[in-house]
Amino acid sequence: MSPSAYVTLSVILFAIGGVGVLVRRNAIIVFMCIELMLNAANLAFVAFARMHGNLDGQVIAFFVMVVAAAEVVVGLAILMAIFRTRRSTSVDDASLLKN
Amino acid sequence: MTTVPAVGFQHAAWLMLAFPVFGAVVLIAGGRRTDRWGHLLGVLMPIASFVYGLIAFFALLGYTDRSRDVHMFTWIPVNGLHVSAGLLLDPLSMTFVLLITGVGSLIHIYSIGYMAHDPGRRRFFGYLNLFIASMLLLVLADNYLILYAGWEGVGLASYLLIGFWQYKPSAAVAAKKAFIVNRIGDTGLLIAVFLMFSTFGSVTFTGVFGGTRAAGTGVDTALGLLLLLGACGKSAQVPLQSWLLDAMEGPTPVSALIHAATMVTAGVYLLVRSNPILSLSPTARLAVTVVGAVTLLFGAIIGCAKDDIKKSLAGSTMSQIGYMTLGAGLGPVGYVFAIAHLVAHGFFKADLFLGAGSVMHGMNDEVNMRRYGALRKFMPVTFGTFLVGYLAIIGIPPFSGFYTKDGIIEAAWDKGGTSGAILATAALIGAGLTAFYMTRMVLMTFFGKSRWEDEVPAEHRETPETGTHGAAPHPHESPWVMLWPMIVLSIGSIVAGGFLVINGRFAHFLEPVTGAVPASHGIITTPGLIALALVVVGVAAGWLMYGRAEVPAVAPPGRLLTKAARRDLYGDAFNESVLMRPGQWLTRLSVYFDGRGIDGLVNTAAAAVGGSSGRLRRLQTGFVRSYALSMFFGAALLVAALLAVRL
């Protein structure tokens, strides 16, 4: 299989993730879509590393994973706090700062 | 003009200033504690100055170099501007010192009686002393900056004294008016001092007069006209005459002081002192003579129509100062006669004003001459002294006015040419008018039938608060403390003119200041005879209208000129329509421009920022997904841009 197929897959995954972030209201789903986009990026990094024959892309993929894990921890914690007070995980409900 | 350093006791000339300053400080700062003896101190101070002045005067007569400069201290020692405070003792300044302190002292003595019932008498004497001190500083200064300090001091003192009865709104307004109108003239003098400094690098008389010839006619003309503006303000010459008639709101001794010894004489002093500048500029001299001629007619016409005895006298002062200003524009002869007339005028005008004050004192402060009549029986001494003043001012020989006023008329006559003829005609007509209004005043006050009523209406009184309401005025002679200054002044009115003019005594005395005077043609001259004839005509006209005919107690409506003259020949109306109204419009325009223009600009900018912020705020929806979408588009745009650049 040629590496370009992996790149194509990563584009498809990124697009699915992006559309998910924009159209879904449930915060959990939004989070999952963000993870999908991050992993699509990881896939692209690894594919390009293979194509160019060096390890830079693979190293960055590790960094992205670490950052994603940290982000999920903080994000889920915020989500829990919001759910406790508002009994909802809809991102549209959390628009109180506007007024 | 050359000066030599002072010698001997002349170094103590500052004492002349120190006496009245001391009096003013003690009386004004001392407050009520000095009420009991304040007036005595106030009288003593100008007398002390007068005594010193007399000694200094006789000492000066003994020297050949008669201009003595007394250096006191260095006032402003800045590099490039070196002003030393010095006094100049010369024939001109000594003449003024004697006039100011002599006549001033007599007026002080008179005020003891005149202000006896006034609770503010001590304050009054404090201000009088301040007035004398400022005026002495003005005439003794050896440079224009010190002169200016005295000039402003005179303005301040006149403001305080005209508004002495400050509870009267009319007095307060008159004081402000005098101050503000004077300020216009002061600006002229101030700019003249600036110009002197920038041109000559000096403001001393010697420094300035030494450089005038080299400075060119342009500078000399500018200086002459600016000094004339200053003189117009202080001496109440047209067009800055309007304050003088209102200044009658002050107590009568103040009017006497302002009109005879101080204040209005300052302008004439300034012009004569600056004669080296005037002599180099024919234009400025012409302007001076025109102002003088216009004012002498202006004042005389006003004097003819006023029923208020003090205002009529004020018109007369304006007219007489007009003669002096006219003289000050006519070269050396004119300078001498301007000052001689000033001295003679100091005597007879003080005499007349104190006489008017004495009449008012006996008449419950009534000032309307139509309410007088037949007072010669009740006030014989006042009548006698007033009559002497009357004969002196209209110029009947051998009284003072005959010598000094005719000298000015002759100088105008001798000027020659069209301008000389016009000026001489104006001066001659003025002499006739003077005779008319003074005759009118004497006849209305002292002759005819008594016309006073049981009660003097408040608006015709000098002080609405004093006087016994409801009681008939019982005319009586004033106390001796008021009478004997009048007697002394009337003696001065008889002898001063002849003493100064006969044999050219005064001309010779003033020679170091005014320059040599060509020999005069004696006492009897053509213009002198014409003037005398016109005086007789004026007296006859006055007798026909006010002596033979009954004087109505209520003023008749009068013809056009009378109406105009009663309203000061529309001087106030002119100021109001030409200066005040446009000024108000300018203010309103400025306010409008400030409100709509400047504030409008700021307010519009603020409103624009506020409005656009309100609209921009809508973009912040608070929905996370819309932010995400805009981020997405932004990122897409960025990527597209990068690709576009790369490709």
Q: Per residue in B511-563, pLDDT tens?
A: 888 877 776 656 677 888 888 899 999 999 988 888 887 777 777 777 777 77
| pLDDT of amino acid B138 | 93
B624 neighbors A94 (Cβ within 8 angstroms): yes
CB contact under 8 A, B621 and A18: no
Which phi and psi angles does B69 have, rounded to 5°? -100, 120
| pLDDT of amino acid B147 | 93
| pLDDT of amino acid B469 | 44
- The one-character DSSP state at B504 is G
| pLDDT of amino acid B157 | 93
Among partner residues B620, B621, B629, which is closest to A22 by beta-carbon distance? Answer: B629
| pLDDT of amino acid A58 | 92
CA B209/CA B508 separation, integer angstroms: 21
CB contact under 8 A, A95 and B620: no
Q: Which two tokens stand for residue B101?
A: 């302190």
Mutate to test the interface with B, among A14, A16, A21, A88 (most CBs of B within 10 A): A21
Q: How far is B623 from chain A (nearest CA, A)?
A: 6
pLDDT in tens, B50-107: 999 998 888 888 877 777 777 777 777 777 777 888 888 888 999 999 999 999 999 9
Amino acid, single-letter form, for residue B265: T
| pLDDT, mean over chain B | 87
Residue range B186-198: mean pLDDT, rounded: 92
Q: What is the ipTM of this complex?
A: 0.82
CB contact under 8 A, A95 and B628: no
Say if B633 is an interface residue toward chain A (CB within 8 Å).
no
Residue range B610-629: mean pLDDT, rounded: 86
| B433 vs B511: which has the higher pLDDT | B433
- Name the pLDDT band for B473 (thresholds 50, 70, 90): low
pLDDT above 60 (res B466): no
The strand pair at B81-89 and B68-78 is best described as antiparallel
Of all residues in chain B, the one with the smallest CA distance to A17 is: B632
- Name the pLDDT band for B375 (thresholds 50, 70, 90): confident
Say if B618 is an interface residue toward chain A (CB within 8 Å).
no
C-alpha separations of A47 from A13, A55, A58, A60 in Å: 14, 11, 9, 12
Which residues in chain A show pLDDT less than 50? none
B440 neighbors B307 (Cβ within 8 angstroms): no
Can you give the pTM of this predicted structure? 0.79
Say if B466 is an interface residue toward chain A (CB within 8 Å).
no
3-class secondary-structure state, position B528: helix
